[in-house]
Amino acid sequence: MTSCLITIEVVLQDSALELERVIEAELQKQGEPIHWAVTEVDCQRQRVLVGALLWLKPELS
Domain ranges for the chain, please list them.
Answer: 3-60
3-state class percentages of the chain: helix first, strand second, coil last, to nearest 5: 25, 50, 25
What is the C-alpha to C-alpha distance for residues 27 and 60, in angstroms, rounded to an integer?
A: 13
What is the C-alpha to C-alpha distance for residues 61 and 14, in angstroms, rounded to an integer?
A: 34
List, for residues 12-49, the tens digit of each pLDDT value.
999 999 999 999 999 999 999 999 999 999 999 999 99
What is the C-alpha to C-alpha distance for residues 53 and 15, in angstroms, rounded to an integer?
A: 24
Asked if pLDDT for residue 61 goes beyond 90, the answer is: no
